[in-house]
Amino acid sequence: MTDAISTENLRQHVQALVFDRSPSDKSLELERASEYICSEFSKVGLTVWKEPLEWEGNQFHNIVAEKRGTLVPDQIVIVGAHYDTVPDSPGADDNASAVSVLLEMAAHIQRVTTRSTVRLIAFTLEEYGYVGSTYYARKAKREGEKVVGMISLEMVGFTARRQKYPAYINPKYYPNVGDFIGIVGNQRSEALVEKVRQCLKTYVPQLPAEFIVVPGNGEGLEEVRLSDHGPFWDQGYPALLFTDTAFLRNPNYHLPSDTIETLDFEFMKKVAIGVFYSVVELAK
């Protein structure tokens, strides 16, 4: 995967998605993004479907791509990334960077055999209260889906010379340079955190990574819940957040300046390799 996963492919995916995709006033642009994602999933041979949901009187879609497991297909590993933006932001880091990693993973997951089913999901309406992921997680729980692990990719393309932390984290225990990927789990996800820790250490040791496990479902620690893993925590599923720490590092967060020129594609490639191997190991 070190050679197969390509910075050029990652860049091309971001370039195809880097425009205002806000559902509040750019619904056609959001639909254009969804069609691109569907096309990329389909061209690599995954089974793809759109999952419709209603929001404020309009219909939107989660996009689901599936590689069915060979031995225990009812066990599901999910990787998700939202594809909407806030108004007036092209959303390069937030969240085209993560969608590009999702699409690059899709291109390579077909090369391996997995015992469990792998689902890659582009969630809609994350910026409006995690509407897409909440819909999916509640439906999965209601229908008894066996989600053995979920990884949420949220802003994975920005590095910086300085790193900030929430008030409840002691910075002396963490780097002051923003060149690492952050992985956050809750108590129910501790085993998942350890599996991913070992995968990153084994397969992409050159990627700095920092891990944190929060109590409960992260209640009162709002920064650790700010993505599509939160609804899975709330439904009792083990789930992790992969992030470059968003506004704690990236000054372009939710602004027109969140452009492709600000991204670190070598960093994104390392993240993609790490996520790929983590998913393969989880799906074994």
Query: What CATH number is associated with residue 246?
Result: 3.40.630.10
Q: Is residue 254 part of a domain?
A: yes
Q: Is residue 1 part of a domain?
A: no
The letter for the amino acid at 45 is G
CA-derived radius of gyration, the chain:
17
**How many CB atoms neighbour CB 137 within 10 A?**
28
Instruction: Check residue 220 and give its pLDDT.
Output: 86
Q: Is residue 64 part of a domain?
A: yes
Q: Is residue 233 part of a domain?
A: yes
95 secondary structure, DSSP code: I
Q: Is residue 2 part of a domain?
A: no
> Residue 265 in 3-state DSSP?
helix
**E-assigned strand segments in 136-238:** 146-154, 181-186, 209-214
- Measured CA to CA in angstroms, residue 241 lies from 22, 165, 214, 227 at distances of 22, 16, 12, 7
Query: Whole-model pTM above 0.85?
Result: yes
Local confidence pLDDT in tens for the 284 residues of the chain = 778 999 999 999 999 999 999 998 899 999 999 999 999 999 999 999 999 999 999 999 999 999 999 999 999 999 999 999 999 999 999 999 999 999 999 999 988 999 999 999 999 999 999 999 999 999 999 999 999 999 999 999 999 999 999 998 999 999 999 999 999 999 999 999 999 999 999 999 999 999 999 999 998 898 999 999 999 999 999 999 999 999 999 999 999 999 999 999 999 999 999 999 999 999 98
> How many structural domains does the chain have?
1
The whole domain housing 110 covers 7-283
Alpha helices in the chain (DSSP H): 7-17, 27-43, 97-109, 131-142, 190-203, 230-234, 265-283
CA angle 198, 230, 248 (to 5 degrees): 75
Q: Is residue 212 part of a domain?
A: yes
How far is residue 87 CA from its own chain's centroid?
20
Contact 41, 103 (CB under 8 A): yes
Q: At what angle do helices 27-43 and 7-17 cross, to 10 degrees?
A: 150
Instruction: Check residue 282 and give its pLDDT.
Output: 96
- Whether the link from the prior residue into 252 is cis, omega within 30° of 0, is no
